[in-house]
Amino acid sequence: MLDCCGRVLGAFRSGPGLRWPPFLMFGPAPAPSRFVSTRWAGIFDVASRRVRLHELEAMAGETDFWSDNERAQRLLKERAACQAAVEAVDLPRASIAEVLGLLELAEADADPSLLPELQGQLDALTAQLDEADFARTMAAPTDRSPAIVKINAGAGGTDSADWATMLARMYGRWAERHGCTVELLDEVPGEEAGVRSCDLRIEGPFAFGWLKAENGVHRLVRISPFDANKRRQTSFCSVYVLPEEDEEIHIDIKDDDLKVDTFRASGAGGQHVNRTDSAIRITHMPTGIVAACQAERSQHKNRAKAMKMLAARLADLERRKRNAAKDEIEAAKLGINFGSQIRSYVLQPYQMVKDHRTGAQTSDTQGVLDGEIDAFLKAYLLAAQAGPVSLRGDDTD
């Protein structure tokens, strides 16, 4: 994140009166400058999100809103997402107004006692902007889905089976910290201890968006509790995270996204079919998908059939996008053995957890195993915004 204090002070001192820093201006697009980045354009399309939020709030107030419970739940989730996107801009904007007002007061009164309060507000603003920066990693539709976490023990025998149990506990504790629910879907017990594999379902805010960073091989180095000679053992487990799919793909087609053309049917005819503009061609502007129908003599019936075809094609497009995302995750899977680990957890002879994709590391191994993995998740998700993240080739031990 760029230095927040410098941005605020620079924006304030660059001209008379109070001015918003350009990086929080969401009106007409300003001229390109070093403050403006196109990376915010997607998740922070605030104008359209704000309009959609008002539409959803109006729908939620209708008397028959809960007549279709499934639709109501879907719209409430969308409303929460729009609300979060709007607040991600409005809250920092309000904080900047307070900071600039306090700065103006401090300069007018030449009162240095206000500087500690100003610094505190600047620190809070920096934290808000860091959260907004991280929020753009959660822009994919599947990021809001529940996560299916598959853990498989690899090389290492009983130690690996025990390591799989430790990982399951780690993700369970992480879920508790984030207000998520955890459900054990399946498990295969180990021969002596632990589990050879287990499947967890974690549901909560952006569960898959967070945990998609955990795909890969996790390596544990410790003194084996199952070895009478107390030798150091290396164990491996793979973690595979998928978004839970809805039973149905719901397609919300907005009238504003449609271009409707009417034309005369080209059939064999009769007294009506090719004398009026009863045929319909509907173009979905965001995707360019076209659906046309001229089978019926009624324009309304042709439109209804064309809309069904359009909905089916959009559903197929969404299904292919989801399959492509799964294929990408499958392609990234590596063998469960030495040299393919994304993260190493070393408990002996020293204590260190290190992510081999981002270089993030900590000596608080107990905290990590208790679910404190947000630093690793954030580091990977932010790095992934710039492109594919590969193993660095270094080793922890």
- How many residues can be counted in the chain? 397
pLDDT per position as a tens digit, 162-181: 999 999 999 999 999 999 99
The Cα 142–Cα 212 span in angstroms is 10
The Cα 361–Cα 319 span in angstroms is 37
* pLDDT over threshold 90, residue 107: no
The residue type of 397 is D
- Cα dihedral 3, 16, 90, 136 sign: negative
Lowest mean pLDDT among 5-14, 45-54, 250-259: 5-14
What ranges make up the beta strands (E) of 288-334? 289-293
CATH number of 4-139: 1.20.58.410
Q: What is the pLDDT of residue 329?
A: 61
Q: Is 179 helix (H, G, I), strand (E, B) or coil?
A: coil
The Cα 227–Cα 193 span in angstroms is 13
* Torsion-angle region of 196 (φ positive above 0: left; ψ -120 to 50: alpha; else: beta): alpha
The Cα 241–Cα 244 span in angstroms is 9
Average pLDDT over residues 300-307: 85
98 CB-contact burial (10 Å; exposed 0-12 / middle 13-18 / buried 19+): middle
Determine the topology of domain 144-244+339-384 in CATH: Alpha-Beta Plaits (3.30.70)
The 10 Å CB-count burial string (b at 16+, else e) for 291-321 is bbbbebbebeebbebbbeebbebbeeeeeee
The Cα 191–Cα 281 span in angstroms is 63
Q: What is the pLDDT of residue 16?
A: 36
The segment with the largest mean pLDDT, out of 129-133, 284-288, 353-357, 391-395, is 353-357
* Dihedrals phi, psi of 377, to nearest 5 degrees: -65, -45
* 8 or 215, higher pLDDT: 215
Break the chain into its structural domains and give their ranges.
4-139, 144-244+339-384, 255-327
pLDDT per position as a tens digit, 320-339: 777 676 666 655 555 545 55
Q: Where are the alpha helices (DSSP H) in 15-114?
A: 46-60, 69-109
Please, which contacts does 43-50 make with residues 24 or more away whose CB atoms are closer than 8 Å?
Answer: 43/85, 43/88, 43/135, 43/136, 43/138, 43/139, 44/85, 44/88, 44/89, 44/132, 44/136, 45/85, 46/85, 46/86, 46/89, 49/82, 49/85, 49/86, 50/82, 50/86
User: Any idea which residue has 């719901």 for tokens?
Assistant: 250
* pLDDT over threshold 60, residue 90: yes
* pLDDT over threshold 50, residue 17: no
* 110 or 376, higher pLDDT: 376
Q: What is the pLDDT of residue 12?
A: 41
Q: What is the pLDDT of residue 221?
A: 94
How far, rounded to the nearest angstrom, does the alpha carbon of residue 177 sit from its chain's CA centroid?
Answer: 18
**Domain spanning 255-327: CATH 3.30.160.20:** yes
The Cα 142–Cα 164 span in angstroms is 26
Contact 82, 149 (CB under 8 A): no
Strands 216-223 and 341-346, sheet pairing = parallel
Average pLDDT, the chain: 78
Grade residue 380 by pLDDT with cuts at 50, 70 and 90. Answer: very high
Q: What is the pLDDT of residue 331?
A: 58
The Cα 56–Cα 81 span in angstroms is 11
Q: What is the pLDDT of residue 183?
A: 92
Q: What percent of the chain has pLDDT over 90?
A: 26
The 10 Å CB-count burial string (b at 16+, else e) for 47-72 is eebbebbeebeebeeeeeeeeeeeeb
